[in-house]
Structure 1
Amino acid sequence: MEPLYFEDYHEGQRIDTPRRTVTDYDISSFVNLCGFLTPTFIDLEYVNRPEHYSGRIAPGLLTLSLAEGLVLSAGVTRGTGLALLELTPTWKAPVYTGDTIQTQINFVSKRLTSRGDRGVVRTENVVVNSKGETVATYASARMIKSKTFGPTSGEEN
């Protein structure tokens, strides 16, 4: 997909990212890197008990990170994104090893900043698994370049 400038976002716009399958390696790496060393993430006997889960689950923050990685891999902000300003997640269901997820990006609003060459774009993002179940939602705000971004003509560099 081509990168989107501030002007390219519009009402009713929805973009579906590529999909990604969550692997045991993804979960193990994240859990060890971040120190999520609790039975919920490292003890398969514990999580397989009927009162818990039916397999190894990904930490919610890993799901959020993978969802954002899918947004980036879609190319929407490649070369136009200046800053991630806000992420407000809500987790709806566990993501298990072997689940394939995708992020749906839904445009909410935009406003130009006082500089006039960039704006803030707000989206509501929905993370779904291959069964079509919503596993997480999150609002995001990003600073995005406008098509007039950069020094104006006649301005010294």
Structure 2
Amino acid sequence: MQNEILLGGGFYFEDLAVGARFGSRGRTITETDLVNFVNLSWLNEELFTNLHDREHMAIPGRLVPGALVYACAEGLVTPSMQGTGLAFLNAELDVSAPTFVGDTIHVECEVIEHRATSKPGRGLVRTRNKVVNQDGKLLMTYTPLRMMRMRVATENKE
């Protein structure tokens, strides 16, 4: 595809700076998502699997595991690093409120760390990612540190 523009590419390291903000589209978490995730992950907690015997449970409603919310959030931000993300290194994660089947989530991201690595052609970017539902309620915050590709592999002097 020489001399053509490839759609769907992610940010390069140089495209980001501390304070930069971007957001994702929304995604509704469905009953099918919950059932498939519980079966895939073996999170067979009654909180997620028992529809009828709920009176002894602390949270009423069709609750979604935080791990599923995180996985969906990462899926929503993946286009921002398509072809330019090199590695996921670590993250801290805090769940602020429950998420339920039928909630539509989106992710609001802010760059909070940005630095070159010792190897040419790559840098480290940490974002603060806020997962928010359709009512504007904060559900989760996590801070992934990712290694990102630079446009030009130059000798990094830091």
Please say if residues 120 and 142 of structure 1, whose CA atoms lie closer than 8 Å, have aligned partners that are also in contact: yes
Structure 2 spans left out of the alignment, 5+ residues:
1-7
Please say if residues 111 and 127 of structure 2, whose CA atoms lie closer than 8 Å, have aligned partners that are also in contact: yes
1:69 and 2:75 are equivalent in the alignment: yes
Moved more, 124-133 or 86-95: 86-95
CA–CA distance in 1 between the matches of 2:70 and 2:53?
24
Aligned structure 1 segments of 4 or more residues deviating by more than 3 angstroms:
none
Shift of 1:32: 1.0
**SS of match in other structure, 1:18:** coil
CA–CA distance in 2 between the matches of 1:38 and 1:11?
40
Q: Which residue pairs with 2:37 in the alignment?
A: 30
**SS of match in other structure, 2:118:** coil
Q: Which residue pairs with 2:109 in the alignment?
A: 105
Question: Pick from 43, 49, 60: which aligns with 1:42?
Answer: 49
Please say if residues 40 and 46 of structure 1, whose CA atoms lie closer than 8 Å, have aligned partners that are also in contact: no
Please say if residues 121 and 150 of structure 2, whose CA atoms lie closer than 8 Å, have aligned partners that are also in contact: yes
Identity %: 37
Q: Give me the CA root mean square deviation.
A: 1.6
Shift of 1:76: 1.1
Query: What TM-score, normalized to structure 1?
Result: 0.88
Question: Pick from 108, 120, 124: which aligns with 1:120?
Answer: 124
Question: Pick from 53, 59, 62: which aligns with 2:59?
Answer: 53
Query: What TM-score, normalized to structure 2?
Result: 0.87
1:137 and 2:118 are equivalent in the alignment: no
Please say if residues 90 and 136 of structure 1, whose CA atoms lie closer than 8 Å, have aligned partners that are also in contact: yes
Shift of 1:22: 0.3
CA–CA distance in 2 between the matches of 1:146 and 1:19?
28
**SS of match in other structure, 2:33:** helix
Shift of 1:116: 2.2
CA–CA distance in 2 between the matches of 1:56 and 1:44?
8
CA–CA distance in 2 between the matches of 1:22 and 1:41?
13
Shift of 1:51: 5.5
Moved more, 109-118 or 96-105: 109-118
1:93 and 2:97 are equivalent in the alignment: yes
